[in-house]
Amino acid sequence: MITPSTGACWCLLLPHVDATCLNVFLATMRAEWPEERIGGVPDGSGSHRGTKMIRPDGIVPLPLPPYSPELPPAAQVFRHLRTRRANAILATLADVEAALMRERRRFWEHPTVVMRMTNYPWWREGVKASRHLYRAKGLHRVEAVSQHVEVLPNDATGQLSVDALRRMIDDRVKLIAITHVPTNGGLINPATAVGRVAQ
pLDDT tens string 68-121: 666 677 777 778 888 877 788 888 988 888 888 888 888 888 888 888 888 877
Q: Do 161 and 118 reside in the same domain of the chain?
A: no
What range does the domain containing 116 cover? 2-125
DSSP symbols for 47-111: HHHSTT----TTEEE-PPPTT-TT-SHHHHHHHHHHHHHTT----SHHHHHHHHHHHHHHHHH-H
> Over the chain, what is the mean pLDDT?
76
Whether 136 shows a pLDDT value over 50: the answer reads no
* Residue 50 falls inside a structural domain: yes
Euclidean distance between CA atoms 137 and 102, whole angstroms: 47
**Mean pLDDT, residues 177-190:** 71
Q: Do 80 and 146 reside in the same domain of the chain?
A: no
Whether 64 shows a pLDDT value over 60: the answer reads yes
Among the candidates 76, 106, 125, a domain finishes at 125
Q: Do 80 and 9 reside in the same domain of the chain?
A: yes
Which is nearest to 114 in space by CA: 40, 10, 3? 3
Residue 9 pairs in a beta bridge with 2
Among the candidates 77, 97, 125, a domain finishes at 125
Euclidean distance between CA atoms 40 and 25, whole angstroms: 12
pLDDT band at 178 (very low <50, low <70, confident <90, very high): confident
pLDDT band at 134 (very low <50, low <70, confident <90, very high): very low
Residue 74 pairs in a beta bridge with none
* Residue 164 falls inside a structural domain: yes
Question: Total domain count for the chain?
Answer: 2
Q: Do 23 and 115 reside in the same domain of the chain?
A: yes
Q: Could you tell me which residues come within 8 angstroms of residue 15 by beta carbon, excluding any fewer than 6 positions away? A: 21
**Mean pLDDT, residues 134-157:** 60
Q: Could you tell me which residues come within 8 angstroms of residue 14 by beta carbon, excluding any fewer than 6 positions away? A: 21, 24, 25
* Residue 130 falls inside a structural domain: no
Euclidean distance between CA atoms 175 and 169, whole angstroms: 10
